[in-house]
Amino acid sequence: MLELRNISLAYDQQPVLKNISYLFKPGIIYGIIGPNGAGKSSLLRVMTAMERPSTGQVLWAGQPLVRHSTEITCMWQKPHLFSGSVRDNLLYGLKIRGWSKTAQEERLATLLANFKLQEYEGKRVEKLSGGEGARVALARTVAPRPRLLVLDEPAANLDPSHTAQLEDALHLIASEEKISIVMVTHDMFQAKRVAGETLFLNRGQLVESGPTERIFTDPTSVSTEKFIRGELLENGN
């Protein structure tokens, strides 16, 4: 589906990503973990064509991804909700894509039910709590039925209850919506709970990837093992 081929990225000649190759497949939740400064958010920007790699190529459905695709949607760490009601936010992407009124209402009903937002449909977004707003932002992101959902720290600053609700929504999206999800998270326990596959980045390099259970129980890289144990990583080790 989305393939990275020998991706490198540098800012002012300082390498941020180093020769990363990876194939993201349909129907899987991917977790991306690593220490601060590992290049996780930069990788997301390259994957979504928000930035062009210095070298290498991003392929979407076998074709070079040179501009943002409407089949890929993103939710960043601090999503901005549009002024108005929850209903207004959820319908926005459908209206600009030309969905019929009937299709809009059917999709709205599904989103409100799946994200447990029925009682908030008419509520203005300024009145929502942080956790409620995060669910609305996530529902709005998947409203137009993308094929790939990219998330940067989706549960940052949420309490455990709202984090659990968001994680339940991610599982529902992957199973019912058939959307692949790539999620950067600083919370390793969240990666263990949610992701089917996990990628570990360190110092701009893809150190290790594979089934999440194996990554956390039997990592092949010393640096992966150290990171999972909570040790500080120095000098690329």
Task: For the chain of 237 residues, list the mean pLDDT of each consecutive stretch of 10.
Answer: 94 92 92 93 93 94 88 85 94 94 95 92 92 90 93 85 86 85 92 95 95 95 90 58
Distance CA 20, CA 166 (A): 29
108 within domain boundaries: yes
Kindly report the pTM of this predicted structure: 0.89
77 within domain boundaries: no
Which residues, 6 or more positions from 163, have their beta carbon under 8 angstroms from its beta carbon?
A: 131, 155, 190
Residues 51 and 37 in one domain: yes
Residues 119 and 177 in one domain: no
- Helix axes 86-96 and 130-142, enclosed angle (nearest 10): 20
Phi, psi of 143 (to 5 degrees): -50, -45
Q: Is-contact 184 172, C-beta < 8 A? A: no
- Structural domain for 130, as ranges: 82-145
Residues 27 and 127 in one domain: no
35 within domain boundaries: yes
pLDDT at 235: 44
201 within domain boundaries: yes
Q: Considering its fold, how many domains does the chain have in total?
A: 2
pLDDT at 234: 61
Residues 139 and 41 in one domain: no
Residues 16 and 65 in one domain: yes
163 within domain boundaries: no
